[in-house]
Chain A
Amino acid sequence: MGADRKDIARYAISLGDDSLILGQRLGEWCGHAPTLEIDLFLANIALDLIGQATLLLDYAGTLEGEGRDGDKLAFHRDVLDFTNCLLVEQPNGDFGRTIARQFLFSNFQLLLFQALSNSTDATIAGIARKAAKEVAYHARVASEWMVRLGDGTEESAQRVAEGLDWSWRFVDELFEAPDAKLIEAGVAVDPASFRPAFDAAIDAVLRDACLARPADRRATVGGRRGHHSEHLGHLLSQMQFLQRTYPDARW
């Protein structure tokens, strides 16, 4: 055992950062999507993710006991202290790449939150139960679009395959084990336990989408330790601009 509040806080931050950064990315689409309906569902997903981030980061702040809340954590950390996975910080690219990223992440997050619904930490379990319902919708919509694009036109099949190819090197990182103490204490789950379920879910959709599963490749990792892609710093400079410019203001 021996998982203390600081360890749980770190875990909640990595979960919250995943949601925050992907929510931020999806917010960039607002007003610019291929159809009004797509615009609305992307905003919907973004909204759910920002909601999850708020709960998780606020909780992390409480556990830390250092006077930080969700806003402090979201807007006053630099790249090295963000521990989201690399997948969520990837630029939107075209709609094909956005959907491929969403498809992979939401399928992962769904299994993760389903497993975390039984966390021994009651707050994390509660957040995960609520979030799993939201994410089930994200995974469904993203999977439907994978099939539409994969089995649509030649161009759409090519674009979504390129999007999948862009994201594929970041999939293994999703399954890195968190702090062993937390797994032992039943607070966290080892995502390796649901990797087979993830692969099966992905493969089933790719089959329907007439898309090939990309070849295995060397994983690109580092996000959980604060070593990110070049993209995250730019995302943060935009997201945090007001808070950084007016550090003494309340909004």
Chain B
Amino acid sequence: MYTTELQKNAQPTAVEDPARVAEFEARIARDEFIEPKDWMPEAYRRTLVRQMSQHAHSEIVGMLPEGNWITRAPSLRRKAVLLAKVQDEGGHGLYIYAAAETLGTSREQMVDALHSGKAKYSTIFNYPTLTWADIGAIGWLVDGAAIMNQVPLQRASYGPYARAMVRICKEESFHQRQGFEIMMGLAAGTAAQKRMAQDALNRWWWPSLMMFGPPDDNSPNSAQSMRWRIKRETNDELRQKFVDVTVPQAEAIGLTIPDPDLTWNEARGAYDFGAIDWDEFYAVVRGEGPTAKERLKARNDAWNEGAWVREAATAHAAKRARKAEAA
């Protein structure tokens, strides 16, 4: 998920052999996969590292708002399902870091960039999980949005990324169904549960729409990414698809989408929806989201407090290697 353009950098591009560039572009146009050993323009490599590491960071930071409810899940089955889900997200982070490493940037460098606040992750994880219904809403909406984003990336031009997406998409659709099932249960439950479910939808709806990134007319790098086929549909196209799929689901379980302007447009065969608060979006991108400080602190604390464990593992491996050599 979380592949939207959150950092715009117009770094100068090195002068590259036009013949190689042309050959590269032709391969992309033929929908061939680019593999780690293949030649690629520096800008392609840089953009991919940024997109993939951002994606991996989002998986990892995304463990926090949901992990917040593991100890309070309301049944043994829900607890197990949530544990497995959060574990899946960690696994997604691992695959994507590994795929990104094939581009020559180490996981350590990427993780350092996250911890220092230099790298971005999806804006959605800077919102708090207040009630159990938020776990339903995240699965349904956030994983749902992630699927919209990631399914086209199974055909991304970079082979390792595309293959990671194939694996991940299967799990994401499972997460989406589980989340929807939680919401369905709550919406059909007691008055207090129904209130929880509607409140969660109210809070998560707009941030979910923002997950697709800025509107197309303010997404300057999109065209290049589309040409390189590391983005295969525009932000607004994906956002529209998400709205069209999700609105009937909300109706089916008796919840109301918090948008008075939402109407079916017969001519377009799609929903018209209200204006997104882009000021909020850009503020969250800048690191001003409600729980941005908590998320970054949690990642940094885990890393710093675990330093002695990682040092021990390294020291032990070195001792082992020395012993093996001496033997």
| Chain A residues in the interface with B (C-beta under 8 A) | 20, 23-24, 27-28, 30-40, 43-44, 46-47, 50-51, 53-54, 57, 70-71, 74-75, 94-95, 147-149, 151-153, 155-156, 159, 238-239, 241-243, 246, 248-251
Contacts and interface: CB of A to CB of B under 8 A. Distances in A.
A39 B185 contact: no
B184 to A, nearest CB: 12
Contacts of A53: 76
B260 interface: no
B308 A36 contact: no
B21 interface: no
A31 B312 contact: no
Closest 6 CB pairs of A and B: A34-B306, A152-B312, A156-B312, A34-B309, A251-B74, A31-B67
A206 B298 CA distance: 33
A71 B78 CA distance: 10
Interface stretch (B42-50, B186-194, B279-287): B186-194
B190 A27 contact: no
B87 interface: yes
Contact of A238 (B72, B185, B315): B72
Interface in B164-183: none
Contacts of B305: 34, 94
B182 to A, nearest CB: 8
B87 A242 contact: no
Give the interface size bracket for B toward A.
35 or more
B309 A50 contact: no
Contacts of A31: 63-64, 67, 86, 298, 302
Interface of B: 60, 63-64, 67, 70-80, 83-84, 86-87, 90-91, 93-94, 97, 132, 185, 189-190, 192-193, 298, 301-303, 305-313, 315-316, 319
Given A30-B67, A75-B74, A40 B312 contact: no
13 contacts: A24-B71, A27-B71, A38-B306, A43-B83, A50-B76, A54-B76, A149-B312, A149-B316, A153-B311, A156-B315, A239-B71, A249-B190, A251-B78
Nearest to A30: B67
Contacts of A36: 60, 90, 93-94, 97
Secondary structure at chain B's binding surface: helix, strand, loop or mixed? helix
A249 B192 CA distance: 9
Contacts of A44: 87
Given A27-B70, A74-B76, A156-B308, 20 more contacts: A27-B71, A31-B64, A34-B305, A34-B307, A35-B310, A36-B93, A40-B87, A43-B87, A44-B87, A47-B80, A54-B80, A94-B305, A95-B309, A148-B313, A152-B313, A239-B71, A241-B72, A242-B72, A243-B74, A246-B192
Contact of A242 (B83, B132, B311, B315): B132
Nearest to B131: A242
Nearest to B77: A54
With a 10 A CB-CB cut-off, give which of B76, B80, B306 has the most chain A CB atoms: B76
A39 B313 contact: no
B74 A148 contact: no
Nearest to B320: A151
B222 to A, nearest CB: 30
B90 A50 contact: no
B152 to A, nearest CB: 27
B72 A239 contact: yes
A33 B306 contact: yes
Nearest to B80: A50
Contact of A35 (B71, B86, B309): B309
B67 to A, nearest CB: 4
